[in-house]
Each structure stands twice: as structure tokens, then as C-alpha cells.
Amino acid sequence: MPSQEIRFTAGEVELAGTLTLPDGEARWPAALLLPSLLPRDRDGRFDRTRHPGWFAEGAAPGLLGRLAEALAARGVASFRWDKRGCGVSGGEWETTGLFTLVDDARDAVAVLRGQDAVDPARVGLVGHGEGAWIALSVAAADPAIGPLTLVGAPARGLRDVLRRAVSERARRRLGNDPEPAHPLVAVLDRALEELIERAERGELAMTIHLPDGPVTLGLAAWEQGFRISDRALATLQERSVTIVHGAADAWVDPEEGPLLEAALADRSAPRRIVVLGSGHELAEAPDTVLRDLAADLAARLQPRRLPTVLLSIGLR
């Protein structure tokens, strides 16, 4: 399957990503792939290029890279990129707010729609964790966005989700937790209550101390996540949604799935899938599961009416 490196301008920085196309010549339906929380590269893996020492070695292949291959095999193009300050993208992850990440995703949608091999009337979103919040935000403001697939999506605000995740990881450390002990995650778990307090007081930044030195985090992204939940954003959706959760997710409790499903039920008739034996990254899921998720999205990528402003610039 062919792939292309694409660089695009988002605000004041240049971001870099990969467009993956199915084999053959056509105008393909397409999906934008949005990564989860913390520094991530375009494949959805924790970023070790720009953040060495933050994460343990030996992590599994990224979910978004696996999905891109599965989607291409089902005749769906996809675009994914390194988050700000990650991989080869410009900017700084540490000081980027959630609303800026939403703007980046909107710019990426425009890039995807502008590709000659993409049908701009058939574009959907796949959001993983934090990316689900971003996907819901982008879709709420863009009626031409088609179906959504939300993987490991929280229903409640980030404050509640993180507190439960910290407790779950502490419980698992007493047993046999297969997840690597990431230095950044350990520090954030210990500092979470202070981070919440500082963000809610309106402080702009907080310094945490990793083994290789201090890191100053901007608190805007955290405070935004505390205030606006996926469940609230779900009430703005009128499109097909599939909710996917790993049954062993230690980041976003699987019980968030039914809450999000209920919030979507009136308008979206969502489908919910639980992947047994898998955590937040779905790393344990066999390729057959990824192929099924790709087939599910491909079947839902029906044409949607493009706004007049898009038709006026030649997207047909």
C-alpha cells in the first residue's frame, strides 16, 4: 500500500504526518487518526524521539499505524501525524493546550480533504483516548465529517478519569501488571492531585521532576480536559459512532463506555465493542480485531453533503 509523507502548517508550526492509501487508482473514502494522551508519534506510540527517558523501552506497535494498514486493506485512505513537539513535528507538547490540538486536527482534515486520491465527502474520524475528545470536538463543528470510531474514550471529565486510572495502576502494581513502568506516568501519578489543584486555581504551569531533569507543563490542556467531558460533546453528534474499549484498560476504565453510549443514544444509535484481554493501546488485540474495526468504519463511510464553502474551493 502506498504512503506519502505530508507536512502542513498548523498555526505557527509545521506538523509532519503520513497519508496511507489503498492500492490502485480511485478517490477513496478516508479517516483521520487521532492519538491518545501524552506525547505520541504518528503511529500512536509514546514518543521517544523528542522525549527520551520519559517512557520505558519495548512498547508494542502503535494502534494508529496498525489501523492505517487495516483501513487501506479495506479501501480506506488515512492520515496520521506526529503531535506537536513529537517525532519530527514542530512545537512543544509540554505547553500545547487541548484547543490547540483541536485546531491542529481541523487543519489536518483540510489537508486530507485536499488530497487528489481522497473523496472529501467521505471522511471520518478515529479518536484514541484524548483523540476521542478531539474527534468529538471537530465533528461537532463540521457537519461534513462522517462516522466516528472512538477507542478508549472517556465519558467524564479528565479529572475523574485520571483519578480512577491512578488508583487502578496502583492496584495493579500490587499484582502482576504487564504494562511497562513509564517514568513520566509514575511522576504524573504521584503529582496528580497537585496538578489538579494548580490547574483549577488557574495557574499557568507546573514543574515536574523526571529522572533526567525537570519538565515544565503548561496547565491549560489539563484544565480544559477537566471542564469539558466527552459525554457533553456527545450530545452534539448526529452521525454514526462506534465505541471501542479494551476490557483491561488501565487508563480509561471500560465502565466509561456505557456512559458515553448513553449520552450518544438519542442521536447516534452507537455501537459498542469490548475487546477482551486488551488494554488502552489494544496492543494485545489480534490483527483480526483491527480488520473488523476497519471494516466497520469502511461500511459507515457514506457520502455527506459538503458545506458551500468547501464546494466553492473545488472540493467535489
Mean pLDDT over all residues of the chain?
93
* Mean pLDDT within 303-311: 74
pLDDT of residue 55: 93
43: pLDDT confidence band, cut at 50, 70 and 90?
Answer: very high
* Mean pLDDT within 27-54: 96
Using CA atoms, how far residue 81 sits from 14, 48, 109, 169, in Å, is: 11, 15, 12, 29
Strands 241-246 and 271-275, sheet pairing:
parallel
Write the pLDDT tens digit of every residue in 252-295: 999 999 999 999 998 888 999 999 999 999 999 999 999 999 99
* Mean pLDDT within 226-236: 91
Distance CA 260, CA 153 (A): 8
Helix runs in 16-157, H state only? 63-73, 98-113, 130-140
Look at 69-73, 171-175, 195-199, 217-221 and tell me which has the smallest mean pLDDT: 171-175
pLDDT of residue 315: 61
Alpha carbon 298 to its chain centroid, in Å, reads 18
Cell triple for residue 15? Answer: 506538523
pLDDT of residue 234: 93
pLDDT of residue 270: 95
Q: Which of 250, 244, 247 is nearest to 178 (CA)?
A: 250
Cell triple for residue 298? Answer: 469502511
Using CA atoms, how far residue 168 sits from 134, 161, 175, 252, in Å, is: 25, 11, 11, 10
User: What is the DSSP secondary structure assignment for residue 40, as one 8-state letter?
Assistant: B
Distance CA 267, CA 253 (A): 24
What percent of the chain is predicted at pLDDT more than 70?
Answer: 94
Which residue bears the cell 504518528?
Answer: 42
Strand partners, 275: 246
Whether the CA torsion 43, 204, 137, 92 is positive or negative: it is: negative
Strands 77-81 and 28-34, sheet pairing:
parallel
Write the pLDDT tens digit of every residue in 111-167: 999 999 999 999 999 999 999 999 999 999 999 999 999 999 999 999 999 999 999
* Mean pLDDT within 216-237: 92
